Structure 1
Amino acid sequence: MSNKPVLNTVLSPRLLDLYDISNSIVVIIDVFRATSTIATALYNGAAKVLPVDSVAKCIELGKITGGITAGERDGKVVEGLQHGNSPAEYPREFINGQTLVLTTTNGTKLLHMALERGASDVITGSFPNLSAVCDYLLSENKNVILGCSAWKDRVNLEDTLFAGAVIQRVKENFTIHCDSSLMAEEMYTQHQDDMYRFIRKTTHWHRLSAYGLEKDLEYCVTPDVANVLPVYENGALIVK
């Protein structure tokens, strides 16, 4: 069947220009930690998450919406914002009913790039909402771009692993002629049973574990612990 939709994996925002994303669902992947945190906040009852690309905009929108301002640059909470980019900071008793205004180093940047380039739908994905992402992609029957946020445009392993996890589940329903996708799936298949060990090799692990974030990072590669689908509509990520 050659009329299956097409799936491509984009390993870095720097490569997004090489793809026509105009009629595609773009999955924004930023496993450590933005898209894990977005899923967790929404799973725990946040009304919406407003992803913004600058700290100034984050502070301004926080004032306008009465929302909780949060974000990181290089893994650390930004001065002037109330909270960081750790999923553990957003339990239900804290975030339920609240608006979260979030700015991060990589993920929010890629999300805005995808919107500017005319993506038909933008959702966010990470291991905590793996099943919700896969179910949605299977139900929509549209072309898909798995967009890895990477680290300052350099390819990273954890986002690539998540792309591989998605591909492993949905590949029968898509045409995949994409070496990035094949690589991602191979890598995930090889390491799916030792993820906690494998992620300790990543540069991001070394960067963030220096701040004592090991538990965070293990949570971020645990499937379906916050299994909701964040969809971008009218400037906000909401649960679909």
Structure 2
Amino acid sequence: MSVESNKPKLEVCLSPALLHLFDVKNSIVVIIDVLRATSTICTALHNGAAKVIPVASVEECVNIGKQLNAITAGERDGQIAAGLEHGNSPFEYSRDFIEGKVLVLTTTNGTKLLHMATDAIQIVTGSFPNISAVCDYLVAEGKNVILGCAAWKDRVNMEDTLFAGAVVSRIKEHFAVDCDSAIGAENLYAAAKDDLFEFMKGASHFQRLARFGLEEDIKYCLTPDGANVLPLFKNGELIAG
């Protein structure tokens, strides 16, 4: 990929532990937590949720839920967190259930990264179910982009890297790409794109969720454009853009 200085930069941050190495203040940051936070966020908003409030701790989730009479949800290590009503499966947030309601969500990895990136020009969340909305927005804005992978407890993971690679593959002609992690992510996606689900079977998070019988969640989270809405982070809340 050639680098053209008159184009905005497109970079991939493979772990929250690396975010300090990137120019967050002068970039749009896309928070990526494919399995399953950002897949669930776009699904809830696509199905009419009034907003999603991402929080770091279960205690904060419970407290805000009581204040707002909201749905409290989240997971720790792939399972519903103790004290919360609902989990992190996108299938829980059908239109019949979520329309017009506020969802307060806490997750193992995604909400942590989101709160680390609050100095960004704009924060959006991305996953395969809303990949087209994300890509269209990034191209239209024409600003520097950091694709931020939530990873797994700061360790690089397969699914977030694959999504970052898919985005790079789609929009690279509009950006200057001088970032080895972006190039590597795109190459990984090229190797996997014909069957993402099969490719993911060797990944640690696939195996973690499969132990809980969540293969259908995984398939949904790897399928493009099932909930093609753009979640925008504003004033501590995610709303449909």
Same fold (TM over 0.5): yes
2:37 aligns to what? 34
* Whole-angstrom distance in 1 between the partners of 2:121 and 2:69: 30
CA deviation after TM superposition for structure 1 residue 18, in Å: 0.8
1:77 aligns to what? 80
One-letter amino acid of the structure 2 residue matched with residue 155 of structure 1: V
One-letter amino acid of the structure 2 residue matched with residue 23 of structure 1: N
CA deviation after TM superposition for structure 1 residue 234, in Å: 1.1
1:50 aligns with 2:53: yes
**Paired residues for 1:1-240 under 5 Å:** 1-115=4-118, 118-240=119-241
Tell me the matched-pair count: 238
Q: Which deviates more from structure 2 when the two are superposed, residues 147-156 or residues 194-203?
A: 194-203
Deviation >4 Å, runs of 4+: none
CA deviation after TM superposition for structure 1 residue 2, in Å: 2.3
* Whole-angstrom distance in 1 between the partners of 2:42 and 2:15: 21
One-letter amino acid of the structure 2 residue matched with residue 128 of structure 1: P
- Give the gaps of 5 or more residues in structure 2: none
Supply the RMSD in Å over aligned alpha carbons.
Answer: 0.6
CA deviation after TM superposition for structure 1 residue 201, in Å: 1.1
- Give the gaps of 5 or more residues in structure 1: none
One-letter amino acid of the structure 1 residue matched with residue 176 of structure 2: T
CA deviation after TM superposition for structure 1 residue 3, in Å: 1.0
Q: Which deviates more from structure 2 when the two are superposed, residues 186-195 or residues 137-146?
A: 186-195
CA deviation after TM superposition for structure 1 residue 190, in Å: 1.5
One-letter amino acid of the structure 1 residue matched with residue 172 of structure 2: K
Query: In structure 2, the residue corresponding to 1:193 is in which secondary structure?
Result: coil
CA deviation after TM superposition for structure 1 residue 73, in Å: 0.6
CA deviation after TM superposition for structure 1 residue 199, in Å: 1.1
Among all aligned residue pairs of Structure 1 and Structure 2, give the percentage whose two residues are the same amino acid.
63
* Whole-angstrom distance in 2 between the partners of 1:179 and 1:2: 17
TM, length-normalised to structure 1:
0.98
Query: In structure 2, the residue corresponding to 1:85 is in which secondary structure?
Result: coil
One-letter amino acid of the structure 2 residue matched with residue 153 of structure 1: D
